[in-house]
């Protein structure tokens, strides 16, 4: 009986079902790993300061002595005040993973409008999420360690929703009340994104500047919308960048120690090769190319109507891929200027998001520019093998493969970390003030961002010491 029912489905429906199963399973895999997650490094500093000063006192302290990232400071503090840090730590990654999927789904809905059903919109959002996870430089810093995820992935999500709202305003939002609501929500997202980190600040500023310039030059009815967002963005940026904590924090970066930071001329020589290699690494993704072919095929007739006038390609559209690639190179300059190194991997997730969001429209524009009206892409039969190849490529990416292995390593890590925190509390209850803990054996790469050291004066050790209110905590032989 089930064989007869199975034969009623077309091959396209079966493949879509398999793709949906893969997307759901992989997302569930990363969510399940969250239950093996534990705090590290700066998490303990924020938790200790929140407990000591309360919410508003902690905001004042971080703004004056750490950074002007007011969104990060407030959200991180609120999480640390919500309960026992060890027990609540598993929940933020779950929220971030689900919101990433919902953000991509919302953006998809605003792009396709009424041309896809709701289940397919969520499926495309899921595939987009998997592509993002597969290409992110370090899943641990992007989703699981709050020091990285709240700083960079949270504003990534804000940015996705912001772009979706902007597209809604520019395409189908005609009602005045709806437009007002979109402006209010967009304003809040702009404020939150800019107050998270400097890379997201620059990306947001770039998008709003280009949008405002285009709206003014084209005399669009959205001019006031764009200019209003620009004013809000400028005020938010000033609040963030002029914080006294930025100066204090920058003064403590690395010094001139050649063991920590290369000379300026070496950093300048390494900049261009690094950015090119990073882009080539992203372009090596089979899933990226397969999904690009599928998007190109699905949008071919619509792109022809938009990009061509009187049968000829409109060259003004080339400004989009040009701005896209220039911004990617520009963002990577930040790390080499400040630290003489590439951006940290958690910050590179912002650049990867920009690459992923800009890749599809840029490729479509450049493809039509290069081929002009010479070819037509109508081979729907190629979509079946393309879907199969997309499924295989997504399951075979290194980050997803590592996550599968980390189900086993994560459970061991969970047991070891639980014993560590239990032993610290036990030693503290006995009156010990200099505590030694055992190191973690083979930590899971998907979850593990950083570890304390054998040096009690290390910043990460000092954060944990401050949280537990003891003289020192360090790695060593805990059995002695």
pLDDT 10s digits, 408-433: 898 999 998 888 888 888 888 888 88
Q: What is the β-pairing status of strands 472-475 and 434-437?
A: parallel
Mean pLDDT taken over the chain: 87
**Crossing angle between the packed helical segments 198-217 and 223-241, to the nearest 10 degrees:** 150
Give the pLDDT of residue 374: 66
Q: Burial level of 203, CB count in 10 A (0-12/13-18/19+)?
A: buried
pLDDT class of 10 with cuts at 50, 70, 90:
low
b/e map of 412-435 (b: 16 or more CB within 10 Å)? bbbebbeebbeebeebeeeeeeeb
List, in order, residues 6 or more apart from 453 with CB less than 8 Å away. 460, 461, 474, 475
Which tokens hold the place of 91?
């929940």
Radius of gyration of the chain (CA): 24
Which tokens hold the place of 148?
């990285």
Look at the block and give the residue holding tokens 């690395």: 254
Give the pLDDT of residue 473: 85
Residues in the chain: 480
Give the pLDDT of residue 388: 87
Beta bridge partners of 387: none
Give the pLDDT of residue 5: 47
Among the residue ranges 172-176, 211-215, 324-328, the one predicted with the least confidence is 172-176
Distance CA 442, CA 158 (A): 34
Please give the DSSP secondary-structure letter assigned to residue 187.
H
Cα angle, residue 150 at apex, residues 145 and 155 outer, rounded to 5°: 140
Give the pLDDT of residue 478: 57
pLDDT class of 306 with cuts at 50, 70, 90:
confident
> For 82-106, what is the mean pLDDT?
93
Which tokens hold the place of 89?
């730590």
Distance CA 480, CA 476 (A): 9
> For 58-63, what is the mean pLDDT?
90
Checking if the pLDDT of 456 tops 60, the result is yes
> For 108-132, what is the mean pLDDT?
91
Distance of alpha carbon 393 from the chain centroid = 21
Give the pLDDT of residue 479: 58
441 or 376: which carries more pLDDT confidence? 441
Distance CA 205, CA 201 (A): 6
Task: Give percent above pLDDT 70 in the chain.
Answer: 93
Q: Please, are residues 130 and 394 in contact by the beta-carbon 8 Å criterion?
A: yes
Question: Residues 221-265: pLDDT tens digits?
Answer: 888 999 999 999 999 999 999 988 888 777 655 544 444 677 777
The domain spans of the chain are 261-390, 407-475
pLDDT class of 166 with cuts at 50, 70, 90:
very high
Among the residue ranges 70-79, 248-257, 264-273, the one predicted with the least confidence is 248-257
Distance CA 23, CA 18 (A): 9
Checking if the pLDDT of 52 tops 80, the result is yes
Give the pLDDT of residue 377: 64
**434 Rama sector, left if φ>0, alpha if ψ -120 to 50, beta otherwise:** beta
Checking if the pLDDT of 272 tops 70, the result is yes
Give the 3-state secondary structure of residue 308.
strand
445 or 189: which carries more pLDDT confidence? 189
Which tokens hold the place of 381?
């039969």
Give the pLDDT of residue 451: 83
> For 2-19, what is the mean pLDDT?
66
Distance CA 108, CA 112 (A): 6
Q: Please, are residues 158 and 30 in contact by the beta-carbon 8 Å criterion?
A: no
pLDDT class of 185 with cuts at 50, 70, 90:
very high
Give the pLDDT of residue 2: 44
478 or 25: which carries more pLDDT confidence? 25
> For 176-202, what is the mean pLDDT?
94
């Amino acid at each position: 009986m089930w064989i007869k029912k199975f034969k009623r489905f077309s091959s396209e429906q079966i493949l879509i079902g398999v793709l949906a199963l893969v997307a759901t399973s992989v997302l569930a895999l990363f969510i399940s790993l969250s239950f093996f997650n534990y705090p590290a490094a700066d998490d303990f500093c924020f938790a200790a300061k929140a407990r000591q000063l309360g919410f508003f006192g902690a905001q004042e302290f971080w703004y004056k002595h750490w950074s002007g990232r007011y969104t990060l400071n407030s959200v991180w503090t609120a999480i640390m005040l919500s309960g026992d840090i060890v027990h609540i730590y598993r929940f933020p990654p779950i929220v971030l993973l689900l919101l990433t999927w919902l953000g991509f789904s919302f953006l998809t809905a605003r792009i396709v409008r009424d041309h896809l059903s709701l289940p397919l919109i969520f499926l495309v959002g899921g595939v987009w999420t998997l592509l993002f996870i597969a290409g992110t430089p370090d899943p641990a810093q992007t989703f699981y360690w709050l020091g990285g995820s709240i700083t960079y992935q949270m504003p990534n999500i804000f940015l996705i929703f912001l772009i979706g709202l902007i597209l809604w305003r520019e395409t189908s939002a005609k009602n005045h009340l709806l437009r007002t609501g979109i402006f209010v929500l967009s304003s809040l997202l702009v404020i939150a994104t800019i107050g998270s980190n400097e890379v997201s600040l620059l990306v947001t500023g770039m998008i709003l500047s280009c949008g405002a310039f285009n709206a003014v030059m084209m005399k669009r009815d959205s001019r006031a919308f764009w200019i209003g967002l620009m004013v809000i963005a400028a005020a938010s940026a000033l609040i963030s960048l002029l914080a006294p904590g930025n100066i204090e924090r920058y003064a403590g970066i690395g010094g001139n120690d050649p063991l920590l930071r290369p000379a300026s001329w070496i950093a300048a020589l390494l900049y261009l090769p690094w950015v090119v290699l990073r882009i080539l690494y992203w372009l090596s993704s089979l899933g990226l190319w397969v999904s690009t072919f599928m998007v190109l095929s699905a949008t071919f007739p619509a792109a022809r109507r938009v990009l061509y006038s009187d049968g000829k390609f409109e060259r003004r559209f080339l400004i989009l891929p040009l701005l896209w690639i220039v911004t990617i190179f520009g963002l990577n300059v930040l790390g080499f200027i400040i630290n003489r190194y590439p951006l940290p991997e958690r910050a590179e997730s912002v650049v990867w998001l920009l690459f992923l969001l800009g890749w599809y429209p840029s490729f479509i524009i450049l493809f039509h520019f290069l081929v002009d009206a010479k070819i037509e892409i109508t081979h729907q039969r190629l979509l079946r093998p393309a879907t199969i190849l997309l499924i295989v490529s997504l399951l075979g990416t290194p980050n997803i493969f590592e996550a599968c292995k980390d189900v086993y390593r994560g459970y061991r890590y969970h047991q070891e970390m639980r014993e560590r925190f239990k032993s610290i509390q036990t030693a503290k209850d006995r009156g010990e003030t200099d505590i030694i803990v055992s190191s973690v054996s083979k930590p899971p790469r998907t979850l593990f961002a950083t570890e304390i050291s054998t040096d009690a004066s290390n910043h990460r050790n000092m954060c944990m010491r401050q949280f537990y209110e003891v003289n020192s905590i360090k790695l060593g032989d805990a059995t002695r």
